[in-house]
Amino acid sequence: MRVNAYAALERGQELVAWNYESQGLKPDEVLLKVLACGLCHSDVHMIDNDWKLTAYPLVPGHEVVGEILEKGSSFNHLKVGQRVGVGWQRSACLHCDDCLRGNENLCSENTGLITHGYGGFADRVVVDGRFCFPLEDDLPTEFAGPLMCGGITVYSGLRYAGMSSGQRIGIIGVGGLGHLAVQFASKLGNTVTVFTTSDEKARQAARLGAHDAIMVRRGGLAESPKKPFHIILSTVPTSIPCELYLNLLDSDGTLCFVGVPSEPVEVPLFPLLAKRRRVMASPIGGRSMMRAMLETATRYGIKPTIERFPLSEVNTAITKLRHNSVRYRAVLSP
């Protein structure tokens, strides 16, 4: 079967219409008709080969919502015609200790949708049915995509950083991930401060649930927070001044990276040592966490703010994302 996609043929280039022949389905595979697909900054990192993981032609797109057109012989729990979401993770071994603990995202053999195959900027996509997540009818197609990577990443990151309720939580960067993090943290009963480079986002943050906004200027922060944070989550795709943020944490506080700068992160020891603070990083989330995230989003009415584009205008969306002018997640429809 011919799949009509958009692909980067070389590093950093605009995507072009491109097609490929899809082979027959393996028992664990499912063929989806793509209904919508979010554009994550990781797609841009992959187009630019920032992480030295990219094989070209690259078909980006890993916040897929699709309808099952065909399924491999292994599945009874999925039905043809059913609507499912698929995120960054293509597959995992499912028998190692990490997988058996429900941490399939930590599996040493895990594969990515767009690092080990072609992604969702296409009319069709073949995925592993074990990493397809059935969607409830009351979750609209265009809102589901951004939850599949952006949503799970911030929810899982915050959970493993120790988020409960009644805490002070800082979110650095109000983009696709950041604007969802603000909602999860605030709806679950925490006091949220955003750190943003945008005056406009600082003003809008309250509507997303933030209690406070602090401007990030070239020379540092425009003001100091009044109280220390239990958790600070960085969603920024470039380097951040680590020491500055570590010093804003309470004793035993955690700085958690979900944003992935290409350069190594420099962590000074003394701000950690003095207050027993921690630094961690968190990749996407396992399957049980994905279900918990979707349930939490539904229960608390958490949904992305999106800008819609036809897939044929994918380059316009990518340019907007590169210029940090998407509010707050671009979603493409074939």
Q: Which residues bind ligand NAP (CB under 6 A)?
A: 40-42, 45, 149-150, 153, 173-178, 196-198, 201, 235-238, 258-260, 282-284, 321, 324
**Cα pseudo-dihedral 194, 301, 305, 208, rounded to 10:** -30
CB 324 to ligand NAP: min, Å: 5
186 binds, among Zn ion, ligand NAP, none (CB under 5 to 8 A by kind): none
What residue ranges bind Zn ion (CB under 5 A)? 40, 42, 149
CB 10 to ligand NAP: min, Å: 20
Task: Indicate the residue among 40 and 154 with the shorter CB distance to Zn ion.
Answer: 40
178 binds, among Zn ion, ligand NAP, none (CB under 5 to 8 A by kind): ligand NAP
Structure tokens at 87: 């995120």
Task: Indicate the residue among 60 and 176 with the shorter CB distance to ligand NAP.
Answer: 176
237 binds, among ligand NAP, Zn ion, none (CB under 5 to 8 A by kind): ligand NAP
Cite the beta strand spans of the chain per DSSP E: 2-7, 16-21, 29-39, 64-71, 83-86, 89-91, 111-112, 124-128, 133-134, 168-172, 191-196, 212-217, 220-221, 229-234, 249-257, 278-281, 306-310, 329-333
Task: Indicate the residue among 115 and 282 with the shorter CB distance to ligand NAP.
Answer: 282
151 binds, among Zn ion, ligand NAP, none (CB under 5 to 8 A by kind): none
Q: What 3-state DSSP class applies to 204? A: helix
Task: Indicate the residue among 117 and 228 with the shorter CB distance to Zn ion.
Answer: 117
What is the DSSP secondary structure assignment for residue 38, as one 8-state letter?
Answer: E
Distance CA 148, CA 65 (A): 9
Give, for 44, the enclosing helix (H) or strand (E).
helix 41-47
Distance CA 176, CA 304 (A): 8
Dihedral sign of CA atoms 203, 249, 261, 208 in order: negative
251 binds, among ligand NAP, Zn ion, none (CB under 5 to 8 A by kind): none
CB 221 to ligand NAP: min, Å: 12
Cis peptide leading into residue 328 (ω within 30°): yes
Structure tokens at 22: 């899809």
Residue whose token pair is 């996407």:
284
Distance CA 309, CA 227 (A): 41
CB 56 to ligand NAP: min, Å: 18
173 binds, among ligand NAP, Zn ion, none (CB under 5 to 8 A by kind): ligand NAP
CB 65 to ligand NAP: min, Å: 17
Task: Indicate the residue among 29 and 50 with the shorter CB distance to ligand NAP.
Answer: 50
Task: Indicate the residue among 13 and 324 with the shorter CB distance to ligand NAP.
Answer: 324
175 binds, among ligand NAP, Zn ion, none (CB under 5 to 8 A by kind): ligand NAP
Name residues whose C-beta falls within 8 Å of residue 155's C-beta, 6 or more positions apart in sequence: 180, 184, 285, 289, 292, 293, 296
Task: Indicate the residue among 25 and 210 with the shorter CB distance to ligand NAP.
Answer: 210
Q: By Cβ distance, which residue is nearest to ligand NAP?
A: 175
